[in-house]
A and B are shown apart, each in its own frame.
Chain A
């Protein structure tokens, strides 16, 4: 098994783990982390699969380079929206559960 195939498999594992986290964790920051790591898994699969049993391929590498930069801007934007949400509602989750939402909205908006 080549290193390329192995890291593509690790990428698949990362995507599955991140998807699982997305389902079970309600904290928004954890979901942003999961989103980010899922992206890293996609990058690993892209480069690993393209290079498996072949030579080094600059095209997927360039696409992933673009992807890394777009991912950081998306993360920064998500964190900003999260902070704005937190400042307005003092909540860190989006649960529909009535008691948690009720608690958080009773507090004064932090402005």
Chain B
């Protein structure tokens, strides 16, 4: 029974990916992408990784989907004839070579990967046992949070740095438009709905952050939900990012700065970089996680809100509606 479900799930995943790549219409491709993300979340559940399922559903399917729909809507009205699946061979007859070579390379990649999976080396140490052994010293009870914020906190520190760099580049790329953007609709239904939805979303985000110390959940999933709430507010026409521009900039960097400060301040006590004193490890991890949640939410939201507003009146669906 489970085997049949797994096989169907894997095939559906591959079909969704094919749909993303080769459906005629870009909007349909994005919808397939969101379906792909939700199926992948199910796969993570099957692989015994509920943390990844949470993150995939909130970030991979939800937030990436919003970003992609936004980008496609940006294109759609202006460039309708360009949307179909584009191959090199749409115009002239293709060279035989240019058709065979991609197939050949893809098959080679697949065979090499199969070989790598089949003849994999045995692991010299058992990581799960090591993690379980040192879990009591980490200050949290959930092994994944322990790995993320204690055993391998380097990764998380550099990750928040990567996010910060991405959002700084996004801000630098933003065209210098001073006029208020046209997409700020005051849809009453969306307005009312988001006014009721956002408070529960914030509560769920904080709960997931709190739950991360003893069960699946944590800073990334909580941050993604916070970002989703902010995206909701923006779509409903609350101009939040204009209300508090300087505050937003501080918030973006807060997670990284706090993490780095904690990481270096333990060196005063003679401990190595990024290790926590065992007695306060749990509290420190929760403090860092709370700051990270806040920053990740703001960063993911900013990556959405920094997108250049549609300039020409015909360049977005919104503009089309305004003209009528």
- B49 and A82: CB pair below 8 A? no
Residues of A within 8 A of B17 (CB): 14, 17-18, 37
Give the contacting residue for B162; candidates A58, A70, A84, A90; CB below 8 A: A70
Is B152 interfacial (CB-CB < 8 Å)?
yes
- A57 and B128: CB pair below 8 A? yes
Residues of A within 8 A of B148 (CB): 62, 65-66
- A14 and B86: CB pair below 8 A? no
Given contacts A26-B88, A76-B67, A86-B75, contact A59 B20 (CB under 8 A): no
Which among B188-196, B200-208, B296-304 touches the partner chain?
A: B296-304
The docked-state distance in angstroms from the alpha carbon of A58 to that of B40 is 18
**Which residue of the partner chain A has the closest CB to B158?**
A66
Residues of B within 8 A of A63 (CB): 152, 155
- B152 and A69: CB pair below 8 A? no
- B173 and A81: CB pair below 8 A? yes
- B300 and A72: CB pair below 8 A? yes
- B71 and A82: CB pair below 8 A? yes
Residues of A within 8 A of B47 (CB): 3-4, 7, 47-48, 51
Report the count of interface residues on A (CB-CB < 8 A).
Answer: 75
Given contacts A21-B21, A29-B75, contact A110 B311 (CB under 8 A): yes
Majority DSSP secondary structure for residues of B touching A: helix
The docked-state distance in angstroms from the alpha carbon of A74 to that of B123 is 31
The docked-state distance in angstroms from the alpha carbon of A13 to that of B143 is 30
- A72 and B60: CB pair below 8 A? yes
Give the contacting residue for B113; candidates A23, A45, A47, A62; CB below 8 A: A45
Which among B50-58, B256-264, B267-275 touches the partner chain?
A: B50-58
Report the count of interface residues on B (CB-CB < 8 A).
Answer: 93
Closest chain-A Cβ to B220's Cβ sits at a distance in Å of 5
- B60 and A62: CB pair below 8 A? no
Give the contacting residue for B117; candidates A49, A61, A87; CB below 8 A: A49
Given contacts A56-B128, A70-B159, contact A30 B106 (CB under 8 A): no
- A84 and B10: CB pair below 8 A? no
- B14 and A25: CB pair below 8 A? no
Is A105 interfacial (CB-CB < 8 Å)?
no
Which among B97-105, B236-244, B280-288 touches the partner chain?
A: B97-105
The docked-state distance in angstroms from the alpha carbon of A72 to that of B60 is 7
Residues of A within 8 A of B67 (CB): 72, 75-76, 79
The docked-state distance in angstroms from the alpha carbon of A51 to that of B78 is 48
The docked-state distance in angstroms from the alpha carbon of A48 to that of B10 is 13
The docked-state distance in angstroms from the alpha carbon of A103 to that of B72 is 21
Give the contacting residue for B106; candidates A23, A49, A51, A71; CB below 8 A: A23
Is B82 interfacial (CB-CB < 8 Å)?
yes
Which B residues between 7 and 63 are near A, CB-CB below 8 angstroms? 7, 10, 13-14, 17-18, 20-22, 26, 29, 33, 36, 40, 43-44, 46-49, 51-52, 55-56, 59-60, 63
A-B contact pairs, 17 of them (CB 8 A): A3-B2, A9-B114, A23-B106, A25-B86, A26-B88, A27-B85, A30-B85, A34-B21, A56-B49, A61-B49, A66-B156, A66-B220, A76-B64, A79-B71, A80-B307, A83-B74, A84-B173
